Amino acid sequence: MSTIISKQIIPVSSLFLNDVLEGLTAEKKYLSSKYFYDETGDRIFQQIMEMDEYYLTDAEMEILKHQTDALADVIAADPGAFDLIELGAGDATKSVHLLQALLNRQLEFTYLPIDISQHVIEDLEENLPKKLPALNVEDLNGDYFAMVKKAKSLSDRRKVLLFMGANIGNMDVAEAKEFCKALRNELSVEDLLIIGFDLKKNPRQVLAAYDDANGITKSFNLNLLSRINRELGGDFEIDHFDHYASYDPESGACKSYLVSLREQLVNIGDETIRFAKNEHIYMEISQKYALEEINELATDTGFKPTEHFFDQQNYFVDAVWKV
């Protein structure tokens, strides 16, 4: 016998369509960078991480490779079993080093990776057991908060949250504050957050990472227009848009835009969207922080910053925040 439980399923594409139309009919046009990561976007992001200009990946990799033991010490300071929840796990190439160190210590934990890319999670599901056969993995695909709540409902073990890779940079400072507050509300005293920030540095170096000579970041941004064409039946002429990146060393905001190279009409579903010549679409923020700003964010949102792990060049920091 089988029971059919009827539940309303909102297809991802209708959320995607709603968000796209909301952004492109707004007075100042914008699209959400969370939609960059379809299969093509995932591939282009891999290329970004391999670019000479994109210093972030190497910097954080150096931290995870060379300070693995110190990081593991922080996590193992509390002797109890735990859930290690990684928000935005990606392909986990960086976290693998930490996971290995935790396994070596024979700590009792389950790794729960979360990513907005379905494709990335499927990859991880297949490849992680090959790399780390002893690891207990439970995949959580979906929204960060829904998944943290779900993890809490699955077990009452203490939670160690990883939010690395400067993923928090994709929020502006106000959004980051709301996010950290909300995260804090989900956590209890024995829980831990390890969070990665890209630090303010020479403005030319920051800008180059988002305005690379080979146009990989440009194609990363343009891919979202192609994705709208593919999935929502849009008719963007990709060649009629250019990419523009800017960095403001004062605020630390690094922003990406697409610029319409001519006056043009674009159809998406039943909507027609008009672009003036040189009109821009705001695509993404990659916020950079000074250490004082990071600590302020922690204390303003109810966390206690306890340790900081830097790469040798001080490009990047993985901060440990306690509740």
Query: How distant, in Å, are the alpha carbons of 119, 180, 214, 256 from that of 170?
Result: 20, 13, 23, 11
d(CA 112, CA 109): 10
**114 touches ligand AVJ (CB under 6 A):** no
Beta-bridge partner residues of 253: 248, 287
Single out the residue of 286, 303, 305, 320 in contact with ligand AVJ (rule: CB under 6 A).
Answer: 286
User: How many residues are there in the chain?
Assistant: 323
**166 touches ligand AVJ (CB under 6 A):** yes
**56 touches ligand AVJ (CB under 6 A):** yes
**101 touches ligand AVJ (CB under 6 A):** no
**223 touches ligand AVJ (CB under 6 A):** no
Nearer to ligand AVJ (CB atom), residue 120 or residue 151: 120
Burial class (CB in 10 A: 0-12, 13-18, 19+), 183: buried
20-28, 142-150, 164-172, 307-315 -> range binding ligand AVJ (CB under 6 A): 164-172
Query: How distant, in Å, are the alpha carbons of 16, 18, 22, 60, 145 from that of 10?
Result: 11, 12, 17, 37, 18
- Parallel/antiparallel/unpaired status of strands 158-163 and 82-87: parallel
140-148, 149-157, 162-170, 224-232 -> range binding ligand AVJ (CB under 6 A): 162-170
d(CA 85, CA 308): 20
Single out the residue of 169, 234, 252, 305 in contact with ligand AVJ (rule: CB under 6 A).
Answer: 169
For residue 111, the surrounding DSSP H or E stretch is: strand 109-115
CB neighbours of residue 279 within 10 Å: 16
**284 touches ligand AVJ (CB under 6 A):** yes
Nearer to ligand AVJ (CB atom), residue 46 or residue 188: 46
**95 touches ligand AVJ (CB under 6 A):** no
Q: Are 126 and 151 in contact, with CB atoms under 8 Å apart?
A: no
Nearer to ligand AVJ (CB atom), residue 148 or residue 209: 209
**117 touches ligand AVJ (CB under 6 A):** no
**195 touches ligand AVJ (CB under 6 A):** no
Nearer to ligand AVJ (CB atom), residue 99 or residue 164: 164
- When CB distances to ligand AVJ are compared, the closest residue is 286
Nearer to ligand AVJ (CB atom), residue 48 or residue 180: 48
Q: How far apart are the first and last CA of the chain?
A: 48
Nearer to ligand AVJ (CB atom), residue 86 or residue 284: 284
**48 touches ligand AVJ (CB under 6 A):** yes
Nearer to ligand AVJ (CB atom), residue 20 or residue 208: 208
**68 touches ligand AVJ (CB under 6 A):** no
Instruction: Tell me which residue has tokens 């110190």.
Output: 70
Q: Are 31 and 23 in contact, with CB atoms under 8 Å apart?
A: yes
Nearer to ligand AVJ (CB atom), residue 82 or residue 247: 247
Q: Are 284 and 317 in contact, with CB atoms under 8 Å apart?
A: no
Burial class (CB in 10 A: 0-12, 13-18, 19+), 223: buried
Query: In the complex, what is the shortest distance from the CB of residue 29 to ligand AVJ, in angstroms, rounded to a whole number?
Result: 18
Q: Which residues bind ligand AVJ (CB under 6 A)?
A: 48, 56, 165-167, 169-170, 210, 217, 220, 284, 286
